[in-house]
Structure 1
Amino acid sequence: MTVAQRGFLLGVLVVLGFLIYLLGPVLTPFLVSMVLAYLGDPIVDWLERRGLGRTLSVCIVFLLVSLIFIVALLVVIPGLVKQVRIAIELLPTLGHWMQATLVPKLSEYADLPPDLFNLKDLSTRLSGHWNEGGGVLKQVSHAVSGSTMAMAGFLANAFLVPVVTFYLLRDWDHMVHNIGLMIPRNLAPTVIGLAKQCDEVLGAFLKGQLMVMLLLGLTYGVGLWMVGLQFALLVGLVAGLASIVPYMGFIVGIGIAMVMAVFQFDSFWQIASVVGVFVVGQALEGMVFTPLLVGDRIGLHPVAVIFAIMAGGQLFGFAGILLALPVAAVIMVLLVHLYGNYKGSHLYHASDKS
């Protein structure tokens, strides 16, 4: 890379970062569309290899995604909201049980005063806030509907995401090809090689780990529902989302489910069945889901995932969260590349010549 190319690249990165910082709220629907197009492009390419045209393939993918979205709106989301409402309404009862049963037992082993955890009052306050939520929601709805600009912005984003996603998905391969032609010819082999590595890393996470999260959430939710746990859908959703960090979903999910199971069930075997659901889910993740969907490709380290999401949100808000994982994947590949160059440079081997 020449000195002029280095200066130009640095200038492009600075300008790009500054524009993202300034245009974060405006860029959100476009970034969402880019992520959706990136995830949908392999499916469209697969349909193209089966002899379908690009536009027809995109329409088929859009139809499938729309059906999934409609099912989620009509079935999953109402059931989830209902379970959240019931869970919050039961908080006083759960708090009373913990105060009367769990806390005294913990106090015996830890030598703690029984009234140290005032869980009953806390749960009653939370339940009261939920009961008042209807009035709050009405106020928020009135404020939003009274703001023409806010409502127009919401409708514009809701309309832009599918439209922009459609055009990005239709022209994705063409845009990638044109971007490749813009790379300086002396840098093209290295940049294309790094881009392929970035795609492998990002694909291993987004195209693989997100599918693992979905399957784990379904496995936990259906399994807990079969066991008879009252809040199976809610616990399964939380465990699936927490699985964005490996093993975190298992830890968070089984912790919440065990509290619910001890509160709900009297039988030891029903409680053991809840544990069995998570053991089976973890076994499926390790032996089926991850090998099949992620394989042996290098993914993002769990610590890198957590730090990237937090740093992106802190620096650029919601747009930064959307960019966090792609940028983290690129940075990781570049660091590996720089480390290899450093190991082969005179800076690393200087002591051999002294």
Structure 2
Amino acid sequence: MTRERQVWFWLIGLLLTLAALYVLSGVLTPFVAGLAVAYFLDPLADRMEALLKSRSAATALILLAFFVVVAAVGVALFPLLQNQVTGLVARLPEIVESARGFIEPHVKHLESELGAEHVKQIKDAAGGFTGAAVTWVGNVLKSLFLGGKAFINTLSLLLIMPVVAFFLLRDWDVLVARVDDLLPRASAETIRGQFRVIDATIAGFVRGQATVCLALGTIYATGLTMVGLDFGLLIGLATGLMAFVPYVGMMIGLLVAFGVALMQFSDLSSFLLVAGVFGVGQTIDAAFLTPNLVGGRVGLHPVWIIFALMAGGALFGFTGVLLAVPVASVIGVLVRFAIGRYQASTLYTGDAT
């Protein structure tokens, strides 16, 4: 097969894969979730296999412990979170009104300093960004909770995902070996090298960032509850989970917390305590969590991550959100590899030899 035909072969294969993902996105969620769980737990399964001398036993034990912990946390937190979500939604108009009353004097001051036209442009830009973000979040939530297939989707997650996770985790090393056997021999070592970089990138972000999110959610939820902020548990956990989107999650959580604080508190010290909780969380994150759990292995720009999450959610719903970071990692690694090859070529160096 000539090089031109190889390019067309892989391009057509990529387009067919994307088309299949789009068509099947409605049923892929439990399989993608199972794959994510298996990938997340594979290092632990390798260590347990060495102790138990059985991959199946190690897989069963790890998944049993994993799902028991998830179920226990869900059962413990669900009633509390349900009450706080209901209360927050009911009081949302009041929170918005309090925030508006706080912001309006500052807007008038800006109008006197910058002019009404410039302030209007800033408000329009901020409103457009907020509207786009709210629409994206709404579409993702709609794909999860609304529509006639919501019950089937939830049932498939509960029943199919653990089964998929078990078989993928049990056979992970076998599947990797089979994929390796299919690599073209002439380029096998180069492809293996790129796979190692992709694995390090995904592992550094997904495994590391997931741990960071859990730690930050615990810190924020505990701190906001201790300072007495209404809905502190909900806001703290949501802020921790949204930390998966760099910077944006923390800013949204901080704004919501200040909005609730405006309605609830009248003294400055309470606002300082709320700000202090976020300050402590960000300090711990910057000084310990991210350097040790994520480090510099990721190589994913925050803007690229945000775009990938929004594009994945818009194209494929919740399945697209799950696939966004891995796909962005693969594209990023391949682009860097292509740039390296280009800079080593005569097209870049200009050497005739």
TM over 0.5: yes
Aligned to 2:283: 283
SS of 1:230's equivalent? coil
Deviation at residue 252 of structure 1 after TM alignment: 2.0
In 2, Cα distance between equivalents of 1:256 and 1:317: 25
8 Å CA contact 2:94, 2:263 repeated in 1: no
1:79: which partner in 2? 80
Aligned to 1:90: 91
Is 1:339 aligned with 2:336?
Answer: no
> What residue ranges of structure 2 are gaps of 5+ in the alignment?
113-144
Q: TM-score, normalised by structure 1?
A: 0.81
Q: Specify the alignment match of 1:24 in structure 2.
A: 25
CA distance in 2, matches of 1:301, 1:173: 30
**TM-score under structure 2 normalisation?**
0.82
Distance 1:247 1:103, change over 3 A: closer
CA shift for structure 1 position 64? 2.1
More divergent stretch after superposition (4-13 vs 230-239): 4-13
Shift of 1:282: 0.5
Displacement of 1:179: 0.5
Distance 1:312 1:34 in 2: 17
* Residue matched to 2:46: 45
Query: 2:120 matched to which residue of 1?
Result: none
Deviates more, 1:252-261 or 1:198-207: 252-261
- 1:2 Cα offset (Å): 5.4
Cα distance in 1 between the residues matched to 2:19 and 2:99: 51
Greater relative contact order (Cα < 8 A, sep 6+): 2
Partner of 2:301: 301
What is the CA–CA distance in structure 2 between the aligned matches of 1:71 and 1:54, rounded to whole Å? 26
In structure 2, do the counterparts of structure 1 residues 261 and 336 end up closer, same or farther at CA, with 3 Å as the change threshold? same
Worse overlay, 220-229 or 237-246: 237-246
Q: Spell out the pairing of 1:1-354 with structure 2 (5 A cutoff).
A: 3=3, 5-94=6-95, 97=98, 102=102, 105-106=105-106, 109-110=109-110, 154-350=154-350
Aligned length: 321
- Percent sequence identity is 38
Q: Flag the 1:217–1:299 CA change in 2: closer, same or farther, 3 A.
A: farther
* Larger-Rg structure: 1
Moved more, 52-61 or 302-311: 52-61
Counterpart Cα distance in 1 of 2:63 and 2:223: 30
My pick for the range that moved more, 277-286 or 54-63, is 54-63
Question: Matched residues in 1 for 2:240 and 2:334: separation?
Answer: 30
* Distance (Å, rounded) in 2 between the aligned partners of 1:346 and 1:96: 63
| Alpha-carbon separation, structure 2, partners of 1:107 and 1:347 | 54
Q: Look up the match of 2:123.
A: none
CA RMSD of superposed structures (Å): 2.8
What residue identity is the alignment partner of 1:84?
V
Which sections of structure 1, spanning at least 5 residues, go unmatched? 113-139
CA deviations 1:285-325 (Å, max 9, x no partner) are 01111122112312421111111122223333333332221
2:115 alignment partner in structure 1 = none
- CA separation in 1, counterparts of 2:307 and 2:84? 31
